[in-house]
Amino acid sequence: MTSGVLAGFLAFLPIWAITGVGWAAGRYEVLGPHAPSVLGRFAFTFAMPALLFLTMARSRPADLVRPGVLVFALSLLSVFAVAQVLTHRVFRRGPGDRAIASMAAAHVNSANLGIPVAIHVLKDTSFVVTVALFQTLLVTPLILVLIDLGVRPDSEGRLRRMVSLPLRNPIVAASAGGLAVSALGLRLPAPVVDPLQLLGGAAVPAALFALGMSLHSRTRPDAEGRAERRVLVALKVVAQPALAYAVGRWVFGLDGHALLSVVLVAGLPTAQNAFLFASEYRLDTDLARDTVLLSTVCSMVSLSVITWLLAA
């Protein structure tokens, strides 16, 4: 048990290391004043689409029908909906920023943090990989549609923009292309896979580095801003895993390793994609960045508590 919790803590170290180097680069202007936006755009336009294309091409969409995935989906969508209401009625956010805030409250870091935690604590990555598939296939397009409608609110072209989103957005287009490869049972040749793998390998480091560089220029939030951040972090690291536990145990009858897997993955912190999307669409990057960092810090404790309570 102790070794599993310690390993979970160690899984956070690469995140802090890359983010810290990014902060230093921003603090001392090593890469110039435009580096955070350029690096973020590189990750959004090239590296992340390459990673998602390969991920979807190797995926098995049939795995989405597993009971644990349904429990996770219900907890994520419920928290997302609550965040939408709170940021609209309490914090008076516009549609685009509401989508970012709701993403920050519900979208889990299933890749660069979820997989190491799953390896060290669950000793199995199958569930977290399926969760990553669910988020990529269903949740990310929903978020991007809400953001797109928020930043371009004209009603006349709304349907056209929704239909054309896969063609205009590299993340959605790459995910759809990878899903098509998987559905057709195609095997990609090495000359296609190898450069995409190299490019996709830069996605997470680039996003974390850009996140770190942006810390140097962040503005201190006012009292309402601090309250909003506390609410989003509480939804992410407390409400979402608690809801996953309640639904998993008392509605679907999960227990043991299956219940631990669902609750642990639901308790993962906010994915850095929230910051990436906010940066790309010129929304509130401070809110996204702070929620990513605060939820990651808090989840170091909450994930350990979850493991201690449910892995006994």
CA atoms within 13 A on the CB side of 141: 19
Question: Do 136 and 200 touch, CB atoms closer than 8 A?
Answer: no
pLDDT score for 110? 86
Q: Is 265 helix (H, G, I), strand (E, B) or coil?
A: helix
Reported as a single tens digit per residue, the pLDDT across 213-228 is 888 766 788 889 999 9
Region at 109 (left for phi over 0; alpha for psi -120 to 50; beta for the rest): beta
Q: How far apart are CA 106 and CA 241, in angstroms?
A: 10
**Helices H, strands E: what count in the chain?**
18, 0
Task: Tell me the pTM.
Answer: 0.86
Any idea where the domains of the chain sit in the sequence? Answer: 2-310
With 60 as the cut, is the pLDDT of residue 78 above it? yes
Name the one residue in this structure whose structure tokens are 């953001």: 147
Q: What is the pLDDT of residue 123?
A: 80
User: What integer best gives the mean pLDDT of the chain?
Assistant: 88
Whole-angstrom distance, CA of residue 171 vs CA of residue 135: 12
Query: Is the confidence at residue 235, as pLDDT, over 70?
Result: yes
Query: What residues contact residue 142 under an 8 Å CB cut-off, 6+ apart?
Result: none
Provide the pLDDT confidence category of residue 55 given band limits of 50, 70 and 90: confident
How many Cα neighbours within 13 Å face the side chain of 112? 24
Does position 1 have pLDDT exceeding 60, yes or no?
no
Q: Percent of the chain scored above 70 by pLDDT?
A: 90
pLDDT at 124 over 90: no
Lowest pLDDT segment from 3-7, 251-255, 257-261, 277-281: 3-7
Please compute the mean of the pLDDT values over residues 133-137 and round it to a whole number.
Answer: 89
Banded model confidence at residue 294, pLDDT cuts 50, 70, 90? very high
- Dist. CA 302–CA 284, nearest whole Å: 26
Q: 73 phi and psi, to 5 degrees?
A: -60, -45
Domain 2-310 indexed as CATH 1.20.1740.10: no
pLDDT value, residue 283: 93
Distance CA 15, CA 6 (A): 16
Whether residue 279 is predicted with pLDDT greater than 70 in this model: the reply is yes
- At residue 154, the pLDDT reads 64
Residue 281 CA to residue 292 CA, distance in Å, equals 17
The string of DSSP letters for 186-233 reads ----HHHHHHHHHHHTTHHHHHHHHHHHHGGGPPPP-HHHHHHHHHHH
CB 212 within 8 A of CB 26: yes
Three-state DSSP at 270 gives: strand
Among 21-35, 79-93, 120-134, 240-254, which is the least confidently predicted range?
120-134
Q: How far apart are CA 111 and CA 103, in angstroms?
A: 16
* Selected residue with higher pLDDT from 40 and 266: 266
Side chain identity at residue 123, one-letter code? K
What confidence score (pLDDT) does residue 312 get?
Answer: 63
Residues 88-120: tens digit of each pLDDT: 999 999 999 999 999 999 999 987 678 778 877
Are the CB atoms for 95 and 153 separated by under 8 Å?
Answer: yes
